[in-house]
Amino acid sequence: MITIAGAGVAGLACAYELARRGAAVTIYEAGAAPSDNPSSWFAGGMLAPWCEGETAEPEVVRLGQGAIAWWEQITPVTKRGTLVVAPPRDRAELTRFARRTEAHRTVDSAEIATLEPALQGRFTSGLFFADEAHLDPRKALLDLTRAVQGMGVSILYDTPAPPTVDVDCRGMASALPGLRPIRGEMAVIEAPEVEITRTLRLLHPRIPLYLVPRGEGIYMIGATMIESGAWTPITVRSLLELLGAAFVLHPALAEASVIETGVGLRPAFDDNIPRLTQLGETTHVNGLYRHGFLIAPALATQLAQHFFQEHSDEHSRQRRTA
């Protein structure tokens, strides 16, 4: 029996890879439901390894490249790429983004309008990352929960983990040294008159924005990365900045209804690189930062390879111990 603490995206992904190899797995989850994992529940759901390369280490880009195929086994994935745009006054931001990333092509105003007709005439140039995708993180979390339960994994909700477990995936609730919280804030808006079909990233020197379609005129918008451990609701400043940036994308978004806001504390190490860390009898899967749905499949695979003593050059290169 392999025991796991935490039923967020990392814990569930680890359970999936272990159970797929025949292990008996039990997950201890202090919350009452999947929605009690705010870092997973309020995620953007972007499977965008090449875009993340703008600020992330090459290791993160490499680890994330298998995420689309992994998630397609479990939940619907929208493979329409990522479109990155910037207002004319911020053209330098687009140039900088292009220089720091790979696997994109430059698109002009005509192609932007072809990709997203709602943006016709609004941006003169952009970058299109055709091989990226997105998913609905809440549906994905529920689908992954059902998948692992169908494989015989026992999830004990409302049950704190015992003092020692085999795998700890509890994020900031873990006793792992070296973690720091990164506060992420988001809003869900309803704008039925605006039709966007793929993830959009709006570059801005102060607050870049991403907008992820959820279908039927629902969009998730986010961007904040604040060095803070506060669980307080979204601040007025952050909400105004998010909504103001969305208005730059399309003026009709000013008439959108704000139907939900949320906050999550993302666990990160000093270098923002996720890793497996062995402390005593427990392997910690942690430090996923803002890359939970993107990186969890790769870390879960590394964990399963470790438990089953499978040989992998990738695992040897990535695994770090305390």
Q: Among 268, 285, 304, identify where a domain stops.
A: 268
Q: Specify the range with the lowest mean pLDDT, choosing from 152-166, 186-200, 234-248.
A: 234-248
Q: DSSP letters of 21-79? A: TT--EEEE-SSSSGGG-HHHHT---EE-HHHHTTTS-HHHHHHHTTHHHHHHTTS--B-
Distances (CA, A) of 103 to 52, 57, 125, 263: 12, 16, 17, 31
Mean pLDDT over 67-89 rounds to 97
What integer pLDDT is reported at residue 311 of this predicted model?
Answer: 60
Residue 309 lies in a domain: yes
How would DSSP label each residue in 64-107?
HTTHHHHHHTTS--B---EEEE--GGGHHHHHHHHHH--S-EEE
One domain for residues 63 and 198: no
C-alpha span between 172 and 98 (Å, rounded): 33
Least-confidence region, from 6-20, 31-45, 63-77: 31-45
Is pLDDT at 316 greater than 50 in this prediction? no
pLDDT (tens digit, 9 = 90+) per residue, 38-60? 989 999 999 999 999 999 999 99
Q: Does residue 300 carry a pLDDT above 90?
A: yes
In terms of domains, do 210 and 66 share one? no
Residue 76 resides in a domain: no
Q: Range with the lowest mean pLDDT among 27-31, 123-127, 247-251?
A: 247-251
Q: Kindly indicate the confidence band of residue 225, based on its pLDDT and cuts at 50, 70 and 90.
A: confident
pLDDT band at 224 (very low <50, low <70, confident <90, very high): confident
Together in a domain, 263 and 277? no
Q: Is residue 209 part of a domain?
A: yes
Whether 320 has a pLDDT exceeding 50, the answer reads no
314: in domain: yes
pLDDT at 172: 94
CATH number for 28: 3.50.50.60
Number of structural domains the chain divides into: 2
List CB contacts of 114: < 8 A, sequence separation 6 or more. Answer: none
- Give the number of other CB atoms < 10 A from CB of residue 22: 9
Distance CA 8, CA 147 (A): 14
> 238 and 158 in one domain?
no
Q: What is the pLDDT of residue 312?
A: 55
Is 0.85 topped by the overall pTM? yes
253 and 141 part of one domain: no
**In the predicted structure, residue 21 carries a pLDDT above the cut 60:** yes
Q: Are residues 227 and 288 in the same domain?
A: no
In this prediction, residue 317 carries a pLDDT of: 44
pLDDT value at 281 more than 60:
yes
Residue 88 covered by a domain: yes
Q: Is 115 helix (H, G, I), strand (E, B) or coil?
A: helix
Closest CA to 141 of 286, 8, 49: 8
Instruction: Identify the pLDDT of residue 314.
Output: 46
Looking at the fold, whether 166 and 243 belong to one and the same domain comes out as no
Residues 90, 193 within the same domain: yes
Domain-ending residue, one of 226, 249, 268: 268
Question: With 80 as the cut, is the pLDDT of residue 61 above it?
Answer: yes
Give the pLDDT mean for 119-123: 96
Based on the domain organization, do 106 and 152 belong to the same domain? Answer: no
What number is the average pLDDT over the span 259-263?
95
How many percent of the chain have pLDDT more than 90? 88
Mean pLDDT of 4-31: 98
How far are the Cα atoms of 128, 146, 150, 152, 287 from residue 143, in angstroms, in the given order?
29, 5, 10, 15, 23
CA dist., res. 262 & res. 42, Å (int):
6
Average pLDDT value for residue range 79-93: 94
> Of 268, 287, 304, which residue is a domain's last?
268
CB atoms within 10 A of CB 118: 17
* 125 and 196 housed in the same domain: yes
Report strand pairing: 180-190 vs 218-222. antiparallel
- Residues 53, 14, single domain; the answer is yes
Checking DSSP bridges between strand 180-190 and strand 199-202, what pairing results, if any? unpaired
The tokens for 34 are 């999947």
Mean pLDDT of 115-143: 97
In the prediction, which pLDDT does 206 show? 74
Q: Residue 293 above 50 pLDDT?
A: yes
Q: What is the CATH number of the domain that holds 87?
A: 3.30.9.10
64 and 210 within one domain: no
Identify whether 77 is part of a domain.
no
The domain of 99 spans 82-130+180-268
Q: Average pLDDT over the chain, rounded to whole? A: 93
Rounded Cα distance, 176 and 104, in Å = 37
